[in-house]
């Protein structure tokens, strides 16, 4: 393709970085036959059931945009802009399978947690693999791309985050290393 480099000519991590900047969202597709249909292939008859693709509602679309803004603010080191996306009483926590247990129950405690995180990492960028809405919850699958401040070592840690939104702002979030648990939490409304 003119104007773009071949995938093998890209620097390590660049493909994930480009994916994080993409507007692509994977929304769940639901079949009237009762089974998930991720292929969305047209059918020649209605005997096998038909597939209906549900577009996100306006509030779901807004929730997706809020989560995209979280990633954008984090990656541009605009932490004050990031905090504006959260309610004052926001609650965050890591699950017991997360490498380091952490949590907060206010925006001020979140500010402290961000400062602690930034003190440990020279660089820290979020990459989005996919976003899904489940009512007022948004499931983000992605990875942290980091460089240790002391070690200078680069690392990538895959994760899932469930954002719980209320009135257009984030009221809570949970960090998961187990995607199945994250999906279950996202579906729990």
Is there a domain that residue 20 lies in?
no
Is there a domain that residue 169 lies in?
yes
Interval 42-89: pLDDT, tens: 333 334 443 434 456 669 999 999 999 999 999 999 999 999 999 999
What percentage of the chain reaches a pLDDT higher than 90? 50
Is there a domain that residue 103 lies in?
yes
Tell me which residue range forms the domain holding 157.
Answer: 56-187
Is there a domain that residue 92 lies in?
yes
pTM: 0.68
Into how many domains does the chain fold? 1
Tell me, what CATH number does 153's domain have?
A: 3.10.450.50
Res 58: pLDDT: 65
Is there a domain that residue 117 lies in?
yes
Is there a domain that residue 23 lies in?
no
User: How far is Cα 177 from Cα 24, in angstroms, rounded to an integer?
Assistant: 22
Q: Are 32 and 50 in contact (CB under 8 A)?
A: yes
Is there a domain that residue 170 lies in?
yes
Interval 92-122: pLDDT, tens: 988 887 777 778 888 999 899 888 888 888 9
């Amino acid at each position: 393709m003119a104007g773009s480099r071949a995938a093998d000519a890209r620097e390590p991590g660049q493909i994930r970085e480009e994916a994080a900047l993409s507007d692509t969202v994977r929304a769940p597709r639901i079949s009237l036959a009762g089974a998930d249909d991720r292929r969305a292939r047209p059918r020649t008859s209605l005997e096998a059931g038909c597939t209906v693709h549900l577009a996100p509602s306006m509030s779901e679309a807004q929730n997706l945009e809020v989560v995209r803004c979280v990633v954008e603010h984090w990656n541009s080191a605009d932490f004050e802009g990031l905090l504006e996306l959260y309610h004052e009483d926001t609650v965050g926590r890591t699950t017991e399978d997360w490498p380091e247990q952490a949590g907060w129950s206010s925006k001020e405690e979140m500010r402290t947690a961000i400062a602690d995180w930034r003190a440990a990492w020279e660089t820290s960028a979020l990459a989005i693999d996919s976003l899904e809405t489940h009512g007022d919850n948004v499931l983000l699958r992605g990875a942290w791309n980091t460089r240790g401040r002391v070690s200078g070592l680069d690392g990538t840690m895959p994760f899932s985050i469930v954002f719980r939104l209320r009135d257009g702002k984030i009221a809570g979030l949970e960090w998961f290393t187990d995607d199945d648990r994250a999906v279950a939490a996202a579906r729990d409304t």
